[in-house]
Amino acid sequence: MCGRLAQYRAAQKYLASLGLDVRPLSRLAEEDIARYNVAPHSKVDLIRPTAAGYIWTAEKWGWTPAWDAKPARRDINATREKAARSKYFRQIWPHRALVCVDGWYEWCVVDGEKTKQPYFIRRADDEPLFLPAIGQFSEAGVEPGGHEGFRIITADSEGGMLDVHDRRPVVFGEEDARQWLSDIGSKGADQLLQERALPVADFTWYPVSRAVGSVRNEGRALIEPIS
């Protein structure tokens, strides 16, 4: 996963698909997010459980533990193979969140060209994508400590999507997304990751403008297919 998302529907539209009662904090529920070029290390809207119930809030996309003296250059993803088992993620594994998006981008090598071609990947039925994430979050009313952030969990691309990229975000259907946010425990959450990701057949992808390569560019034109 190369690390660029599209998140453009209103929060209430994602929530209608999920059927969850969520308190929106970062924006009005009916307000279109309208972000077609969401970059790492920016604040990204997500859902996370709290003692007072589920909240919709914006958190930094990217996390490194405070004790890591030599942090990895890529701090935005956690692999499905290691998220529940690695000591590196032990601190944040219990703190699950759900990133609701409309698709993501990957860049592919083109024979004879120096510049890679970006592709937009979405569900074939154009329904929202629910991406499991883990992170370090501050409690409401508590001053942030400076190390807050989250990572999206990725998996091997499997079969047909390998012509785009060898890894992709784990994507859940609605029921499994609700389970991910529930109090299912560590073993149940890991089982969801390993067994319940939507298959490659549920997705479609197509080439889009190279303009998406610059984080300064925005707008719906970025997700439109090109010939």
Query: Within a 13 Å sphere around the CA of 194, how many CA atoms are in the beta-carbon half?
Result: 11
Rounded CA-CA distance 33/37 in Å is 11
- The catalytic residue among 2, 108, 175, 195 is 2
108 assigned to active site: no
Distance from first CA to last CA of the chain, Å, rounded? 23
Helix, strand, or coil here: 136? strand
Rounded CA-CA distance 10/27 in Å is 9
* CB neighbour list of residue 155: distance below 8 Å, 6 or more residues apart: 79, 80, 167, 168, 169, 170, 193, 197
- The catalytic residue among 59, 106, 139, 158 is 106
Catalytic machinery residues? 2, 106
